[in-house]
Amino acid sequence: MAYGIAIAEVGEVDLYRFGRSNQIFRGPKPDLGGPYFAFVGGSEPFGKFVLEPYPKLVENRVGITCVNLGTPGAGPGFFLKDPVILETCSQATKCIIQVMDVAPLSNRMYEVYPRRNMRLRNVSAVLKSLYPQLDFSAFRYVSAMVRKLKEVDADAYKVVLAEQRSAWLARMLVLLQDIETTKTLLWIQPEGGKGSDQPVTQEMIDVLASHVDNVVKVSVAVPESGGRRGLTGLRKDTGWMTREVHAKIAAVLSADLQALQSEKRPA
């Protein structure tokens, strides 16, 4: 799922292959010989546009190794396919799981590739019947297809969104159950917009909350212009994840993790 990525601040990003896993993640390669925190998520923790994404900033703050398993375009199904990732997360002192998007995930409407979740593999007869006017062979990426579905028939898309949400919630519950350590659910929530406008709702988070140790919500401003809509528009670019946004997320998470360390220290 990884690919050659360059960012303005540092040029080529350092990538490495993780253990027995076939996946490639953003470096530097961590030392798992001591305690560590694991970070699971999509493009946001990967940090395509910054020198130091929020897992690295947290590491700088708390002094504990932070393993960045963020993968561009990943949904929860991506991590469920890799037992090495699940084992690494389970052996962490704590795992921070980002609330990922609902789109890059196979469901009854369409199928995505297991290792490249934003790539569209197939669409179902149900989806074709909802949109008989569309030629689905024109779509390679889920994000482009979803934007078109909204544009062509917003009412029909409500049926698609309901299926996306149902599949996402089921897969997230399995992921949380398979990660056998203390867990924080990180919700990077766009500012503005109603719950019905967002792919993931508060009600969905409430369902997941009983399966984690705590939920951390960080509100961020996501610009609607400039072609980088991030969480609100399903574009694969996350240029809105600036250094300032990463720093804000890191500050909130660091406070949570430092509190965990304090609880574990002997009196």
pLDDT in tens, 74-84: 999 999 988 98
The Cα–Cα gap between 200 and 39 comes to: 20
Q: Answer with the residue of higher pLDDT: 195 or 224.
A: 224
Q: What is the pLDDT of residues 12-44, one digit of tens each?
A: 678 888 777 778 899 888 989 999 999 999 999
3-state SS class at 226: coil
Residue 86 has pLDDT above 70, yes or no: yes
DSSP code for 202: H
Helix (H), strand (E) at residue 93 = none
Domains in the chain (CATH in brackets) are: 6-104+182-264 (3.40.50)
Q: What is the pTM of this model?
A: 0.87
The Cα–Cα gap between 244 and 218 comes to: 13
DSSP code for 139: -
Q: What is the pLDDT of residues 149-178, one digit of tens each?
A: 999 999 999 999 999 999 999 999 999 999
Residue 214 has pLDDT above 90, yes or no: yes
The Cα–Cα gap between 233 and 169 comes to: 20
Buried (b) or exposed (e) across 20-51, using 16+ Cβ within 10 A? eeebebbeeebeeeeebbbbbbbbbbbbbbbe
Taking the CA atoms of residue 212, residue 216, residue 221 and residue 222 in that order, the dihedral angle to the nearest 10 degrees is -20
What pLDDT does residue 234 have?
35
What pLDDT does residue 238 have?
57
Closest of 219, 221, 215, 222 to residue 186, by C-alpha: 215
Residue whose entry in the numeric block shows the structure tokens 């949400």: 165
Is-contact 16 24, C-beta < 8 A?
A: yes
Amino acid occupying residue 128 = K
